[in-house]
Amino acid sequence: MATLKNCSIKFYTNGAGKNADTPITITVRDDNEVVAAFACNDFGPFEEHSESGPFDLAVINASEKADLRGGSIAIRVDTKPQGNWRFNFFTFLTFSDGTRLAGREVGIELNHDRSELIFGFDAIIQ
């Protein structure tokens, strides 16, 4: 069975950017809710209408490809009360057999009141 070897994410900021000191937490879970990959970092500033990344996530558990297809990716920001971040993201999962899965979501906005969103891989994988 193919297992997770690498996971990365890239962001494209639309409109409102992200401040340099605003941390982003990215958690990839398989369909058993096991954390497969994780990152928490501020990654620096994301200017308006700019591309940032790709950023590698730490592989915590080498989940199987089939389990990740039914899993999810959560993106959380800890913004200041008036901070907004509008973005698209692209994620890439590479497996031990050399195969890859890629997913994306566009038109996302996170802010102080809505700081985390979770996306099912079954809906975003292409």
Q: What is the CATH number of the domain that holds 28?
A: 2.60.60
Q: Is 12 helix (H, G, I), strand (E, B) or coil?
A: strand
Q: What is the pLDDT of residues 64-115, one digit of tens each?
A: 999 999 999 999 998 776 678 899 999 999 999 999 999 999 999 998 889 9
Strand 50-59 to 72-77 pairing: unpaired
C-alpha span between 79 and 102 (Å, rounded):
27
The token duo for 121 is: 């891989």
Q: Which domain holds residue 54?
A: 4-124
C-alpha span between 126 and 112 (Å, rounded):
30
pTM: 0.94
The pLDDT of residue 34 is above 90 = yes
Total count of domains within the chain: 1
The token duo for 76 is: 């959380």
The token duo for 22 is: 């605003």
